[in-house]
A and B are shown apart, each in its own frame.
Chain A
């Protein structure tokens, strides 16, 4: 009997792909489109309510927990977060957010607003800073943007996902 799973993950900023095939008692893995199949071993130690505890060779004991489209893995004293994504050609650039606004990454208080309407901000430039748990977190532009409106002010309490800054409609191709 042969069963297989084919998975594409976004992990640590990279697109990774695996095909794992069970042939009899053996497991074969083809990773990132490689033509060569690795012979690996993975034994189910126990099923968890939403995942599994496994023994993987090479690697050791692993805990895998699914949380919606996200998979959390503990292995070798480290933890990993993998997002299950659609298939994409290996090496293709990760998707850049095309949201027309920036949202708060967490519930907190706006500590700084660094932009005003009309400001052009290059990709990675900081728009504002949200403070939570006594720490500051920068909200950056995901791409080159022009600020349309600032929807928050220093001292505002904001919720996770709340819109902080909206962008003007995309500039024509070639405009700075």
Chain B
């Protein structure tokens, strides 16, 4: 099994692959040569230079790596090529097993307009909107009036907020249509856009589904992902504080109906907006493993990667109904971003790393001490996942895990995550997708420096002086002999055929 990804998800999938008794093959770019995921694998192939187009997005190189290592299957992780039907087709044409739904299913569900039509046909509630031609200004203005303001202009091929505009009045519509189409054409090579009613006070609640090749489809409950910053999820949890057993059954049935209608085989996620009073409507389908899948694993006791491998091997799902959630779980996305500098991404070397080890805490990490974080990729470093018998216990465990996490070198968003977890609305479970905008906009990272910090820094020099550097003198040119610089003899299994 070749895992066509990097970072924490590659580590997690590679470990799952090894646990299943399969040989795990990693791929890496040059700057990732010593990354954690390379060491989580039996073997690794270096694809090329840092930019993703030369490495993790390079289909020819990935397929060559699979061929050279004798891989029989490819797991795409999330991001990169995980939702590329074209890549899935190339994998299958090369005679390899694709861990994910069929390419035609990815195509059908990846296009938001087609996915909406499938959902509607399957009886799944969808948001009122307009999916017709937006070239006719008069017609689209009439349609917009019917949908009602505020509304969203969305890209059919979109994701992550790209090619999306909030429109509050008819006057703003023409410019939003043009801007969204331009952005979508640049990002997704399709400028097709559609209109959808904008629900302002709603929760983002998604249902995990798994389908097998024998027509079996089950849902594994929901995840609440309302805490988003710029359309990027920050903190997720399961179960949702707003979903009871009856609503879970209704939303789960809707997700299963859609998956059945699409002929879905594999693990996937059906995203909904959940309004007050339990009304929900379909948003989109993610045809892959989600970043936040561990919270579902915590509360169901299932291993989603193992299930992906099983259904890809043609096995039947081992259960017909989702187990009821057991306890509560949170996931915190720890990213190399500086909240004090407008969340600017941080690259650089990890000088010191301590990961929390405590009851109910799982860490999915792509980091190791000495690792140089490359500037080419997503800023997600690791995920802290806290599980407990109830929401408050899990929340306190998440805070303790944050306290115990030490990453020296790149600045992270840890202070921001703590502020979210401690916010009274968050504590109350009172969340909407406006949470960050409404309650975190005035977050300021605490930049005060206590005397103790100065004492610690100076005491290190007094009590453990750098060899060669006299106490009382510090040279700016001194370069510390870190283990990273002394590890020249290290070798990774980067050659095809390298030893395990």
A-to-B contact residues, CB < 8 Å: 3-7, 9, 11-14, 16, 18, 20, 22, 27, 29, 31, 38, 40, 42-44, 47-52, 54, 56, 58-59, 62-69, 71-82, 84, 105-108, 132-135, 137-138, 157, 160
Contacts and interface: CB of A to CB of B under 8 A. Distances in A.
B343 interface: yes
A31 B449 CA distance: 12
Nearest to A51: B460
A173 B367 CA distance: 51
Contact of B343 (A18, A44, A84, A135): A135
B458 A79 contact: no
Nearest to B351: A65
Contacts of B375: 106-108, 132-133, 160
Contacts of A51: 352, 460, 464, 480
Contact of B474 (A13, A20, A54, A84): A84
Interface of B: 51, 160, 336-337, 342-345, 347, 349, 351-352, 354, 375-379, 402-403, 406-409, 411-412, 414-415, 418, 446-464, 466, 471-472, 474, 476-483
A72 B337 contact: no
B450 A20 contact: no
Contacts of A138: 342
Contacts of A105: 344
Given A29-B451, A52-B464, A74-B408, A63 B459 contact: no
Contacts of A47: 464
Which 9 A-B pairs rank lowest in CB-CB distance, beginning with the nearest? A59-B452, A50-B480, A42-B459, A64-B460, A52-B464, A62-B456, A69-B476, A133-B345, A72-B408
A12 to B, nearest CB: 4
A90 to B, nearest CB: 13
Contact of B466 (A9, A50, A77, A107): A50
Nearest to B344: A137
Given A107-B376, A134-B378, A68 B456 contact: no
B166 to A, nearest CB: 19
Contacts of B452: 40, 56, 58-59, 62, 75-76
Nearest to B349: A67
A113 B409 CA distance: 30
B456 A59 contact: yes
Given A6-B472, A51-B352, A108-B375, A80 B347 contact: no
A12 B447 contact: yes
B466 A16 contact: no
Given A20-B462, A52-B460, A67 B453 contact: no
B337 A135 contact: yes
Contacts of A71: 457, 460
A46 to B, nearest CB: 8
Contact of B478 (A31, A43, A68, A157): A68
